[in-house]
């Protein structure tokens, strides 16, 4: 019998799931790493654990201290759950535009949630800057009382994915992986997995699937941070190069519009029973592009980052989708006839 001594031990070792329709469409094996099966419901449980373990080892986080982070939601959920399991209080600053489901999920973990306006990173009132200032103020009053997780620029994030997520993919595929693709917010997953897989086999293709409105695909392809359009996806995309994303070994990069990514979310739920969030739709669209780039017969891995229930009021609301000019599948209209 396998038991876990605590919550941290239950994080990771998620299965790879064959994505049937994407595989059949491309003639490749497209596999999704089911990170929504982590205890906190997302791949950000890994990020949270990597940051926390590093801070405990270095002495930056001590017993009785408060964890503080600026997050779009999932990293905060992971930090709050791990904090509760290890005796830390948690304060989260979060853009008020994030889904009600994520805000509520954070609150029920016991975290103190401070909703702030959604502004660009260059604005001093960006949620990450507000978290940093809060830690500085708390430590000025009581040194060592607060720790800023700093998921975007704390490279313990990237290093933990390099040490865990990447080797898991290599082992699960028996080393027969030709490409890896995912979206990025902090840059930790793409950079960490990319570094690990390139270490095992320099020929593995690493690709960025970037939501419309993010500047990172442009940066990879042209060297210029230029964003166009917008997206309903949350928690991915960026207007800057983070410390985690810096030097990520990216071979291909595409900007993925919602009209391409959102239908994958609906198709996966209706056709394969996998309910995933918007970033996973972007990832699957990117995996299809990479598979077509490589050609039939290859194996491409991507990330199923979190669950659709975190975004039900957007991804699964016919009225919301129509308001954004996005297609609504017939089965969703039947499920919610009042929104038709």
Looking at the annotation, which residues are catalytic? 44
Task: Give Dmax over CA atoms of the chain in angstroms.
Answer: 61
Where are any strands of DSSP class E within the chain?
A: 16-18, 29-34, 66-70, 89-95, 112-116, 146-148, 179-182, 205-211, 252-256, 299-304
Least Cα distance to 162 among 193, 203, 206 occurs for 193
DSSP codes joined into one string, 238-269 = -SS--TTTTT---SEEEEE-HHHHHHHHHHHH
Read off the tokens for 179.
């490409």
Least Cα distance to 12 among 150, 153, 163, 151 occurs for 163
Read off the tokens for 268.
């996966």
Read off the tokens for 315.
């991804």
CA dist., res. 223 & res. 219, Å (int) = 4
Least Cα distance to 231 among 72, 76, 102, 35 occurs for 72
Is residue 55 within 8 Å of residue 147, measured between CB atoms?
yes
3-state DSSP call for residue 226? coil
CA dist., res. 210 & res. 152, Å (int) = 16
Torsion angle of C-alpha atoms 23, 26, 29, 34, degrees rounded to 10: -50
């Amino acid at each position: 019998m396998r038991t876990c001594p605590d919550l941290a031990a239950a994080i990771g070792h998620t299965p790879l799931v064959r994505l049937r329709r994407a595989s059949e469409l491309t003639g490749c094996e497209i596999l999704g790493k089911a990170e929504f099966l982590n205890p906190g419901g997302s791949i950000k449980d890994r990020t949270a654990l990597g940051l926390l373990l590093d801070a405990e080892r270095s002495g930056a986080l001590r017993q009785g201290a408060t964890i503080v982070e600026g997050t779009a939601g999932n990293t905060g959920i992971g930090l709050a759950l791990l904090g509760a399991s290890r005796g830390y209080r948690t304060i989260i600053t979060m853009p008020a535009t994030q889904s009600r489901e994520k805000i509520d999920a954070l609150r029920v973990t016991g975290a103190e949630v401070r909703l702030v306006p959604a502004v660009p990173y260059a604005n001093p009132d960006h949620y990450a800057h507000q978290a940093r200032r809060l830690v500085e103020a708390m430590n000025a009053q009581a040194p060592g009382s607060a720790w800023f997780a700093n998921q975007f620029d704390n490279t313990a994030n990237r290093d933990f994915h390099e040490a865990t997520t990447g080797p898991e993919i290599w082992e699960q595929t028996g080393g027969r992986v030709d490409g890896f693709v995912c979206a990025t917010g902090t840059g930790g997953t793409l950079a960490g997995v990319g570094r690990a897989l390139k270490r095992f086999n320099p020929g593995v293709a690493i690709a960025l699937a970037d939501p419309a409105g993010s500047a990172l695909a442009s940066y990879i392809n042209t060297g210029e941070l230029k964003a166009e359009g917008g997206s309903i996806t949350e928690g991915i995309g960026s207007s800057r190069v983070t410390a985690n994303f810096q030097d990520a070994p990216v071979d291909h990069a595409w900007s993925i519009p919602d009209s391409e990514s959102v239908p994958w979310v609906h198709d996966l739920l209706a056709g394969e029973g996998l309910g995933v969030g918007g970033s996973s739709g972007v990832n699957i669209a990117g995996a299809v592009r990479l598979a077509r780039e490589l050609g039939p017969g290859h194996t491409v891995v991507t990330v199923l980052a979190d669950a659709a229930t975190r975004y039900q009021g957007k991804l699964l609301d016919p009225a919301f989708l129509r308001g954004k000019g996005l297609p609504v599948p017939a089965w969703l209209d039947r499920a919610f006839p009042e929104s038709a």
